[in-house]
């Protein structure tokens, strides 16, 4: 019912899962990840208990292969399961039970596990692997995962059609304000509300918004606020009916992209101000 990629970044700092399916809210059932531990996708006749069990095994020091073996040994329904795991060191393992509906299968390599069932054919996972490998120079794991998912969909994807998609990425202190490890947690639960019925395209749109609102500016994106620019920002805030510019920033949820002391502003936020 699903195709997914589970992976670790090349620098060993980030883990994530991208998944799509003709299944409602696939992001609720399939992906799980913990920074510094690993990531898993459980699908087909998904055993959602695999998520906590696998991550516990990995946290105890098990490799992806050992964690997978333990899951299957303890599960009488193993023949109906499909699962992919990547561990802290980038080791990968995948299982497709013989009772999974065709086409079903997987590909693994250093740092990634790609799997799918009820697909149009093997070309889906093959396209995902090519996209993953071709994006090796892309530093953003979320973008690499999304590229692989998009390629799988373009190659045929779920043979029953499209319904939902999800993207989960974790990295230490990557969450809002650095208070947790969730860099990306986005879900498109049903395509019925989408004009083109394409949950993966909607996921891409949401990822752009996630980057804008929920990630911190890089040094290259920061524009120093000179006295002249501060006056421009103050005038803008007054026109917008805000007490001051930082009040406007808070109301628009741009806190991650403007310095608390207004010493710098993100170039994208500045562009929004000047376009208003």
Q: For residue 1, is pLDDT > 70?
A: no
Task: Please report the pLDDT score of residue 193 as a whole number.
Answer: 75
- The contacts of residue 108 (CB under 8 Å, 6+ apart) are 84, 92, 93, 94, 114
* Upper half-sphere CA count for residue 97 (Cβ side, 13 Å): 23
Annotated domain spans of the chain: 2-214, 219-275
Task: Please report the pLDDT score of residue 109 as a whole number.
Answer: 98
Nearest in space to 185 (alpha carbons), one of 216, 206, 162: 206
Nearest in space to 7 (alpha carbons), one of 115, 105, 96: 115
- DSSP letter (8 states) at residue 158: B
Measured CA to CA in angstroms, residue 1 lies from 8, 24, 64, 95, 121 at distances of: 24, 10, 23, 15, 13
Q: For residue 139, is pLDDT > 80?
A: yes
Q: Is 3.60.20.10 the CATH number for 2-214?
A: yes
Q: Express each pLDDT in 43-77 by its tens digit.
A: 999 999 999 999 999 999 999 999 999 999 999 99
Question: How does the average pLDDT of the chain come out, rounded?
Answer: 96
pTM: 0.94
- Could you tell me the pLDDT band of residue 106, with boundaries at 50, 70 and 90? very high
Task: Please report the pLDDT score of residue 194 as a whole number.
Answer: 78
Counting residues of the chain whose pLDDT is more than 90, the rounded percentage is 95
Q: Express each pLDDT in 178-195 by its tens digit.
A: 889 999 999 999 998 777
Query: Could you give the CA distance from residue 116 to residue 276 in angstroms, rounded to a whole number?
Result: 45
Say if residues 168 and 184 touch (Cβ distance below 8 Å).
Answer: yes
Region of 179 on the Ramachandran plot (φ > 0 left; ψ -120 to 50 alpha; else beta): alpha
Task: Please report the pLDDT score of residue 276 as a whole number.
Answer: 87
Counting residues of the chain whose pLDDT is more than 70, the rounded percentage is 100
Average pLDDT over residues 248-265: 97
- Residue 166 three-state SS: strand
Average pLDDT over residues 13-23: 97
């Amino acid at each position: 019912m699903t195709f997914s990629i589970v992976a670790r970044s090349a620098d060993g700092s980030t883990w994530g899962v991208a998944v799509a399916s003709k299944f409602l809210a696939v992001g609720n059932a399939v992906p799980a990840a913990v920074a510094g531990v690993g990531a898993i996708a459980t699908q087909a006749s998904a055993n959602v208990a695999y998520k906590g069990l696998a991550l516990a095994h990995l946290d105890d020091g098990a490799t992806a292969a050992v964690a997978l073996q333990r899951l299957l040994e303890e599960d009488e329904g193993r023949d109906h399961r499909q699962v992919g795991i990547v561990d802290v060191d980038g080791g990968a393992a995948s299982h497709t039970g013989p009772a999974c509906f065709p086409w079903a299968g997987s590909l693994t390599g250093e740092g990634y596990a790609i799997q799918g069932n009820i697909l149009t054919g093997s070309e889906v996972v093959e396209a995902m692997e090519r996209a993953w490998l071709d994006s090796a120079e892309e530093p953003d794991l979320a973008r690499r995962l999304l590229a692989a998912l998009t390629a799988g969909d373009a190659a045929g994807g779920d043979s029953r059609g499209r319904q939902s998609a999800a993207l989960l990425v974790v990295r230490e202190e990557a969450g809002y304000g650095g208070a947790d490890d969730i860099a990306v947690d986005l879900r498109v639960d049903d395509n019925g509300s989408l004009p083109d019925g394409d949950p993966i395209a909607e996921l891409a749109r949401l990822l752009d918004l996630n980057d804008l609102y929920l990630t911190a500016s890089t040094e290259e994106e920061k524009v120093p606020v000179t006295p002249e620019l501060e006056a421009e920002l103050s005038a803008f805030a007054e026109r917008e009916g805000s007490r001051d510019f930082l009040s406007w920033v808070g109301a628009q949820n741009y806190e991650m992209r403007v310095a608390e002391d207004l010493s710098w502003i993100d170039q994208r936020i500045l562009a929004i101000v000047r376009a208003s």
